[in-house]
Structure 1
Amino acid sequence: ADSDGRPERQRRGAAGAVFMDGQFGTENGGGPGTIWKIDGITGAVSKFADTDTNSGPGIGNLAFDPTHREFFASDLDTGLIHRIDIEGNLIDSFDHGVAGRPAHGLAPVADDGALMDIQAAAFDSEDPATWGYTQDARRVWAVAYHGGRLYYSVGEKAEIWSVGIASDGSFAGDPRWELTVKADQDYAVTDIAFDNKSFMYLAQRGPVENRYDYSRFASSGKGELIRYWREDPDDPATESAWV
Structure 2
Amino acid sequence: MCLVAGCSPSPDERFSAGIDDGTEDGGTNSTTNTNSTTNSTTNGDGDTGDGDPDTGDGDGEGDGDGDGDDSGSGGTTKFDLGVIGDAGEGTGGPGGPGSCRESEIYGAAGGFPAFEDPAYADFLDKTIAIVTHRVQSGNFGQHLMTIVDISGDPPPPSVNYLAPLYTRPTWNEANFGGRIFGITLDSEGNIYVAPSTVYGATQNTSTIKKVDRITGEISNFATLPNNGPAMGNLNYDCVSETIYVSNHEDGRIYQLDVYSGDIVSTYHHSTGNVTMGPANDMGEPNGAFAPLGQRPWAVQSHAGRLYYSIWGGNGANTVWSVAYQNANGVPDPATAKMEFQVPGSQPVSDLSFAHDGWMLIAQRTMSSDMSTGAHQSTTYDYDYINGDWVWQGTNYVVGELMPYSAAGGVDHDFDPGGYVWMTGDALDFYTPNVVYGLQGTPYGGGDINNSTVIDLDQEIVSQDKTAYGDVELPIPGDVSPVPPPG
Residue 77 of structure 1 corresponds to: 249
Residue 365 of structure 2 corresponds to: 206
Residue 176 of structure 1 corresponds to: 337
CA contact 1:209–1:219 (8 Å) conserved in 2? no
Letter in 2 for 1:242: W
In the aligned structure 2, how far is the partner of 1:171 from the partner of 1:69? Answer: 14
Q: 2:322 aligns with which of 157, 163, 167?
A: 163
CA contact 2:176–2:209 (8 Å) conserved in 1? no
Q: Which has the larger radius of gyration?
A: 2
| 1:224 and 2:343 are equivalent in the alignment | no
Structural mapping, 1:113-132, within 5 Å: 115-116=286-287, 132=288
Q: 1:97 aligns with which of 255, 270, 275?
A: 270
Q: 1:62 aligns with which of 227, 230, 234?
A: 234
CA contact 1:112–1:135 (8 Å) conserved in 2? no
Q: 1:86 aligns with which of 237, 258, 261?
A: 258
CA contact 1:111–1:135 (8 Å) conserved in 2? no
In the aligned structure 2, how far is the partner of 1:60 from the partner of 1:192? Answer: 12
Structure 2 residue matching 1:136: 3-state secondary structure? coil
Evaluate the alpha carbon distance shift between residue 169 and residue 114 of structure 1 in structure 2; reply closer, same or farther with a 3 A threshold: closer
Residue 105 of structure 1 corresponds to: none
Structure 2-normalised TM-score? 0.35
Structure 1 residue matching 2:270: 3-state secondary structure? helix
Q: Deviations over 1:207-242 (max 9, x none)?
A: 15699xxxxx512223100000111x34xxxxxx11
CA contact 1:74–1:142 (8 Å) conserved in 2? yes
In the aligned structure 2, how far is the partner of 1:56 from the partner of 1:190? Answer: 18
1:68 deviation in Å? 1.4
In the aligned structure 2, how far is the partner of 1:24 from the partner of 1:209? Answer: 24
1:196 deviation in Å? 2.0
Corresponding pairs, count = 181
Structure 1 residue matching 2:372: 3-state secondary structure? coil
Q: 1:45 aligns with which of 218, 226, 241?
A: 218
Residue 177 of structure 2 corresponds to: 25
Gaps of 5+ in 2: 1-172, 179-202, 274-280, 391-486
Structure 1 residue matching 2:272: 3-state secondary structure? helix
1:25 deviation in Å? 2.7
Evaluate the alpha carbon distance shift between residue 188 and residue 72 of structure 1 in structure 2; reply closer, same or farther with a 3 A threshold: same
Evaluate the alpha carbon distance shift between residue 194 and residue 90 of structure 1 in structure 2; reply closer, same or farther with a 3 A threshold: same
Structure 1 residue matching 2:250: 3-state secondary structure? coil
Gaps of 5+ in 1: 1-20, 101-109, 117-131, 212-216, 235-240
In the aligned structure 1, how far is the partner of 2:284 from the partner of 2:329? Answer: 28
Letter in 1 for 2:336: P
Larger CA deviation: 145-154 vs 30-39? 30-39
Residue 134 of structure 1 corresponds to: 290
In the aligned structure 2, how far is the partner of 1:172 from the partner of 1:90? Answer: 17
1:34 deviation in Å? 0.5
Letter in 2 for 1:160: V
1:31 deviation in Å? 4.0
In the aligned structure 2, how far is the partner of 1:31 from the partner of 1:204? Answer: 24
Q: Indicate the RMSD between aligned Cα atoms, in angstroms.
A: 2.6
1:40 deviation in Å? 1.2
Q: Deviations over 1:76-125 (max 9, x none)?
A: 0011000001121111100001018xxxxxxxxx9986833xxxxxxxxx
CA contact 2:175–2:218 (8 Å) conserved in 1? no
In the aligned structure 2, how far is the partner of 1:37 from the partner of 1:192? Answer: 21
Letter in 1 for 2:299: V
CA contact 1:204–1:225 (8 Å) conserved in 2? yes
In the aligned structure 1, how far is the partner of 2:270 from the partner of 2:383? Answer: 26
Percent of aligned pairs sharing the same letter: 29
